[in-house]
Amino acid sequence: MNLGTEVGLKMGKATRDAFGEALRDIGRENPAVVVVDGDVSNSTRTEWFGKEFPDRFFDVGIAESNLVGVASGLAANGKIPVAASFAAFLLCNAYDQIRMGVAYPHLNVKLVGSHAGISIGEDGPSQMAIEDVALACALPGVVVLVPADEHAARAATRAMIAYDGPTYLRVGRPNVPVVYDENVQIEIGKAITVREGGDVTIIANGLMVAAALDAAARLAGQGIEARVLDMHTVKPLDEAAVAAAARETGGIVVAEEHLHHGGLGSVVAMAVARLHPCRMGFVDLDDTYAQSGTGEELLREYGLTADRIVEEATRIVRGG
């Protein structure tokens, strides 16, 4: 995948792989952690937990609503359940159960959606979660996490388990560039400044963080210094970082592997409108479903690229 190459990032593991590794490790440390999966554990990587802790692993089959119900019951009885499936199956198929069985009673259920975004490639639109962040953000009291690389995914998994309340963790299928080292810390609600800059700010999460860094390098060649913020927590949003970016750089571009409405761009725009209005641009999927193709082909086809970020940032800086 052609991301992070211009700033010399090396390719790492998929965030779903890092999640699976971290979950297994946490299982060794915390016997209260249990896992419920929907017959896709070889894809979500929860099978690594299940092989080591079979008495704490429950495969409910292709029945996402039942999966959430089981997880809710486990949480109500003091366990820390991780409920995992493809993001499209979990959030779309079981939304009512998540709403009434997890969010409304504010139970300590850890929802994990794998294979998010269009970068899953050839599986096609039926399995591409492109609205999951919007759906999760709409649920009162639910934390929403979108890590950028394998190290951030491990840290986000630990932050999710340590947090007392419902969470949604979004992870992906493809290998992604390594942005951080193994010591990165993910603090819920606190953005990470990946690159300093005073002319414009690029706010991104997931694999778009690497694209944002590539874009910032290109912009620097044009004399434009871009700040890059990794907004790994979409909810609660780091409003202080957003307000500072708007005030100090005068313009913000939001880049995400998600639909235009309801995701990171929407929540950042709401914060900007309320705290410090400034010029904004958005790099996302707009309002469309994707076709089938390789992950790299699809990211290019739908404009989730450094090129598109550069266009938006340049337009903002030059007042276009």
Give yes or no: residues 63 and 154 share one domain.
yes
Three-class secondary structure of residue 308 per DSSP: helix
Q: Is the pLDDT of residue 148 over 80?
A: yes
Instruction: Please provide the average confidence, as pLDDT, over all residues in the chain.
Output: 97
pLDDT band (50, 70, 90) for residue 2: confident
Q: Is the pLDDT of residue 59 over 90?
A: yes
Asked if the structure places residue 184 within a domain, the reply is no
319 vs 202, residue with greater confidence: 202
Q: Is the pLDDT of residue 320 over 70?
A: no
Asked if the structure places residue 306 within a domain, the reply is yes
Report how many helices (DSSP H) and strands (DSSP E) the chain contains, helices first: 13, 14
Last residue of a domain, one of 119, 150, 177: 177
Give yes or no: residues 17 and 160 share one domain.
yes
- Residue 105 to residue 77: CA distance in whole angstroms: 13
- Pick the closest to residue 179 from 218, 208, 221, 220 (CA basis): 208
Annotated catalytic residue within 21, 47, 64, 131: 64
Give yes or no: residues 96 and 202 share one domain.
no
Give yes or no: residues 55 and 165 share one domain.
yes
The pLDDT, as a whole number, for residue 210 is 98
Contacts 24+ apart (CB under 8 A), 154-160: 154/18, 154/19, 154/21, 154/22, 154/182, 155/184, 155/185, 155/186, 156/186, 156/232, 157/18, 157/19, 157/22, 157/23, 157/26, 158/22, 158/26, 158/186, 159/186, 159/187, 159/188, 160/110
The pLDDT, as a whole number, for residue 129 is 96
Q: Is the pLDDT of residue 163 over 70?
A: yes
Give yes or no: residues 146 and 210 share one domain.
no
SS3 readout for 268-284? HHHHHHHHCCCEEEEEC
Q: Is the pLDDT of residue 78 over 90?
A: yes
Is 64 considered catalytic here? yes
Last residue of a domain, one of 177, 205, 237: 177
Q: Is the pLDDT of residue 8 over 90?
A: yes
| Mean pLDDT (whole number) for 91-119 | 97
Give the CATH number, domain containing residue 293: 3.40.50.920
Q: pLDDT tens digits for 244-271?
A: 999 999 999 999 999 999 999 999 999 9
Give yes or no: residues 145 and 214 share one domain.
no
Give yes or no: residues 225 and 199 share one domain.
yes
Q: Is the pLDDT of residue 89 over 90?
A: yes
Contact 259, 269 (CB under 8 A): no
Which alpha helices (H) appear in 163-254, and where do they start and end? 208-221, 239-249
Residues spanned by the domain of 203 = 192-313
- Per the confidence metrics, is the pTM higher than 0.95? yes
Give the CATH number, domain containing residue 24: 3.40.50.970
The pLDDT, as a whole number, for residue 123 is 86
Which two structure tokens, joined as six digits, stand for 132? 């999951």
Number of domains in the chain: 2
The pLDDT, as a whole number, for residue 247 is 98
Give yes or no: residues 75 and 121 share one domain.
yes
Cα–Cα distance list, 41 to 45, 48, 67, 271 (Å): 5, 8, 13, 37
The pLDDT, as a whole number, for residue 18 is 98
Asked if the structure places residue 142 within a domain, the reply is yes
Asked if the structure places residue 227 within a domain, the reply is yes
- Residue 174 to residue 295: CA distance in whole angstroms: 8
- Residue 320 to residue 314: CA distance in whole angstroms: 8
